[in-house]
Amino acid sequence: MSFGEVLFSELAIRQVAVMDAKYDPRKIEPKWQAYWESTGLFKVKEDSGKEKYYLLVLFPYPSGKIHIGHVRNYTIGDVVARYKRMRGFNVLHPMGWDAFGMPAENAAIANHTHPAKWTYANIDAMRSQLKTLGFSYDWDREIATCRPEYYRWEQWLFLKMYAEKMAYRKESFVNWCESCQTVLANEQVEAGLCWRCGQQVRQKKLWQWFFRTTDYADDLLAHSDQLPGWPEKVTTMQKNWIGKSFGAEIRFTVEDRDIVIPVFTTRHDTVCGATFMCLAPEHPLTVELCKATPQEKQVMEFVDRMSLQDRSDKAVEGYEKEGVFLGVHCINPLNGARMPIYTANFALMEYGTGAVMAVPAHDQRDFDFAKKYGLDIIVVVKPPDEDLDSEKLSEAYVGEGIMVNSGQFDGLDNKTAMEEIAGFLEKKNRGQKEISFRMRDWGISRQRYWGAPIPIVYCDTCGVVPVPEEDLPVVLPEDVELQEGGKSPLPQLDSFVKVDCPRCDSPNARRETDTMDTFVESSWYFDRYCSPDFDRGMFDSKAVDYWMPVDQYIGGVEHAILHLLYSRYYTRVLHDQGLVNFKEPFTRLLTQGMVCQETVSCPKHGYLLPEEVKIVDANRYCTHCDEPAAVGRVEKMSKSKKNVIDPNTLLEKYGADTTRFFCLFAAPPERDLEWSEQGVEGGFRFLNRVWRLTTGWMDRVKDAAPFDGSPAALDGAVRDLYKKTHQTIMKVTRDIEDRYHFNTAISAVMELFNTMSAIEETESNPQQIPVMRFAIEALALLMSPIVPHFTEELWEALGNTSSILLAPWPFYLEEALEKDDLLIVIQVNGKLRSKFSVATDADEETIKQIALEDERIKKFIDGRVIKKVIYVKRKLVNIVV
């Protein structure tokens, strides 16, 4: 019988309320999963009488298999959800699928199937895997973003955004990945490489749809400092990405032409030192200006070469500066000087306006370029106590100072000059102060098939026509043949493309065949979870008002400037449409660490999977060739390095509770977790020990009421256990509540377990059974978010008839937290010689040590050989000399 096939009726569960002698996760885990499902325990609805708590973990891409990183994240989320629930919150804990995107398409092409079929099969497989882990999801709220019921609403919002010019279309140079056959947003290009496939990205000119994210740049930036529940590294990354700078826009006129080139600079104090201009190779004027000049051919060659180069700022920084003269000049608006215009590799379309006013005396990059091409260098700012000679300058002077060579501005300090020059330019209508952002508008067109269609029609007569709202959704057709290489089949699919114009009924209109970036879907899925079946809008605002914002979000730091920034942007759009009453979707954010493991490789067979390695006397050997294998660095688990653990193997061998236990115990959530089989093994052993201890006591405690009085009414080991239990409740509560430090919470429970193990069953203390009952109950409750199946079983054996999840979280008594002292008597050869007090939890070694070092004792044992040190527990130490 396989793990998932064991099903029990509720009746059966209630009849067999006796714990088996042996801990068998294969038996109890399916039993409780079936119970949770049949009783609908995890279903929630809005309840105005209860405080809500929305716990969300970033939804997975349905790749087909849960990996260990998922297991860790979802376990962290599940512990918080279960804990909050026991604290009395109405907890929303949903799960769904980020189901559009290229991997589905690529896998479908490789396996000759359809992306929809592949995706839905994967969703089914992953859902049942998640269920075997015992996560407390409300599965009634499950969503998949590839379903028309979902994406129709984002098409609907697109139309609103289009109507208000928040979505617009323009032809521009975009990041093009040849291997993925699509455009990438700036956020999706990492050091010039495609974030998905790692291939070189090139610049291509295309008509694209954009969201005007820059409208919200200032607001996003300002609120980045008002997210106290977010890790600072994430808000810092967002702030840097938005990149606000204060400067001026200055307009340069092209000589003898009616063309003006605006430039953004933060150093407008140095305009008189500008001796040439550089345009980005992608700048539209680059090609236009050189036309019919002797320079044309050379410029075109340069532009072509640059389109194949990595144009990211990081890469460009490393290149030697190079450029080509365009054959034309522009005029310096401040001093009228003629400035040659170049196109240069260090000018980026990404920054400012794509045109750079080059001031070689005060910018090192411009200086290098000027030296290389023999261009003028003019000092306009000098240090207060020194003169600078333009001829002899060996590097750019970038410091503050006094203005020179700047006509009417000479003698001013350069800060003042900035203000004055900006004022002067504004008066002459040649420029003004300006704020610039690094962030650009979000390009959302993707030339791939498996995505949400953009609801737009092109008509020869009417131009760009939005699809009427009543015609939504524009359903992605499924009757397509996918093509090798990933080129979208939509442009060739007449049944999709050919459409009557919604405005003039012309039969020759064509549909937009680009689909939306899948990051659009993930920018609002958390709102959709609040009312997943709502069919009169994106979501039911009453439900969203109740549940949103998300109280705790869990997702990786790799999404800092992607999903996490897009979601903040999209929420602002919804806010300004009057659809939601908040601007920030996530109150608290936890970015979890990675799961890592050492890599092992064979000189002949490369990286080895854990099962391809055999260990003999702590040495590793390749199972294919028996040669010694080398142990490499501890790295993030990845298929390519083969240092992966399949969660299924763990589930088969140890069960869900041990897997969860290990993930939480091995490291605090925000840190990387190093995988260790011994660690998993250790967790399994601990659960077995708890099982044995509790089954051992069960007959006696089953019908007892838990002790709930003052510790003053107890004494001896029972009193210690009672106090230890309260101390543990406090420690675990604080570790989970304040810091999510589940690892230290588990350590505290282990300590409590040790105290419980030390109780001698024969002791004739009448309070022993009630206190033990209290301790076992507390241990079950404290562990229940972590190992839910195990503790349900224990809870049931204690005679409870409803789920442990419905029990309130235990509370602690202040008076039970104070530590007791033990009075220990010291004897030498059986005669009382001294005494001392020590904490009740001090161990035997410590107590013996204190006795031997006692000043009064020293003179009795002075110089004599100690034959024996006898410790009578909690009472005395007898030193025999």
Instruction: List contacts with Zn ion (CB under 5 A).
Output: 177, 179-180, 194, 196-197, 199, 459, 461-462, 501, 503-504, 506, 602, 604-605, 622, 624-625
β-pairing verdict for 90-92 and 52-57: parallel
Nearer Cβ to Zn ion (212/605): 605
Report which residue type is found at 551: D
Least distance between Zn ion and beta carbon 146 (Å)? 20
**Other Cβ atoms closer than 10 A to 481:** 8
Contact 547, 46 (CB under 8 A): yes
Q: How far is the CB of 102 from Zn ion (least distance, A)?
A: 8
Report the nearest approach of Zn ion to the CB of residue 556 (Å): 20
Least distance CB 349 / Zn ion (angstroms): 20
Q: Contact 666/730 with Cβ under 8 angstroms?
A: no
Contact (Cβ atoms closer than 8 angstroms) between residue 767 and residue 698: no
DSSP state of 269: G
What's the count of helices (H) and strands (E) in the chain, helices before strands? 27, 35
Alpha carbon distances (Å) from 543 to 524, 535, 668? 14, 13, 33
What span, in angstroms and rounded, lies between the C-alpha atoms of 545 and 38? 30
Closest CB 173 distance from Zn ion, rounded Å: 17
Minimum distance from CB of 72 to Zn ion (Å)?
28
User: Residue 628 Cβ, how far from Zn ion at the closest point, in Å?
Assistant: 9
Span between the terminal Cα atoms of the chain, in Å: 65
Instruction: Residue 523: name the closest of 493, 565, 481, 471 by CA.
Output: 565
Tell me if 275 sits within 8 A of 261, measured CB to CB: no
In whole angstroms, give the CA distance from residue 507 to residue 509: 6
Residue 220 contacts residue 242 (beta carbons within 8 Å): yes
Q: How far is the CB of 67 from Zn ion (least distance, A)?
A: 21
The residue written with tokens 């790295």 in the block is 635
* Whether 37 contacts 666, CB under 8 Å: no
**If you search the block for the tokens 């409590």, which residue do you land on?**
752
Instruction: Tell me how far, at minimum, the Cβ of 438 lies from Zn ion, in Å.
Output: 23
Task: Give the Cα separation of 414 and 409 in Å (integer).
Answer: 9
Q: How far apart are CA 475 and CA 499, in angstroms?
A: 13
Minimum distance from residue 322 beta carbon to Zn ion (Å): 27
Give the whole-angstrom CA distance, residue 191 versus residue 198.
Answer: 10
Alpha helices in 259-363 (DSSP H): 284-290, 296-307, 313-318
Residue with smaller CB distance to Zn ion, 4 or 502: 502
Nearer to Zn ion among residue 322 and residue 598 (C-beta): 598
Which position has the token pair 């609801």? 455
Nearer to Zn ion by Cβ, of 52 and 503: the residue is 503
Residue (359 or 629) nearer to Zn ion, CB: 629
Q: Are the CB atoms for 528 and 221 separated by under 8 Å?
A: no
3-state secondary structure of 614: strand
Least distance to Zn ion from the beta carbon of 500, Å? 9
Residue 459 or 824 having the CB closest to Zn ion: 459
Going by C-beta distance under 8 Å and a sequence separation of 6 or more, which residues neighbour residue 620?
600, 613, 614, 628, 629, 630, 631
Is 661:652 a contact under the CB 8 Å cutoff? no
State in angstroms the smallest separation of the CB of 465 from Zn ion: 6
- Residue 473: cis peptide before it, omega within 30 degrees of 0: yes
Q: Which residues pair with 826 in a beta bridge?
A: 834, 877
Shortest distance (Å) from residue 459 CB to Zn ion: 3
Smaller CB separation from Zn ion, 163 or 832: 163
Nearer to Zn ion, 101 or 593 (CB): 101
User: Could you give the CA distance from residue 249 to residue 428 in angstroms, rounded to a whole number?
Assistant: 13
Helix (H, G, I), strand (E, B) or coil at 331: strand
Distances (CA, A) of 639 to 3, 544, 635: 26, 39, 12
Name the pairing type of β-strands 550-554 and 515-516. Answer: unpaired
| Of 196 and 239, CB closest to Zn ion | 196
Q: Smallest distance from the beta carbon of 308 to Zn ion, in angstroms?
A: 15
Closest by CA position to 874, among listed 851, 832, 842: 842
**Stated length of the chain:** 881
> What is the four-CA torsion angle of 673, 677, 680, 685, rounded to 10 degrees?
-150
Least distance from C-beta 466 to Zn ion, angstroms? 12
> Which DSSP symbol is given to 784?
T
Pairing of strands 595-602, 673-674: parallel
CB 167 to Zn ion: min, Å: 20
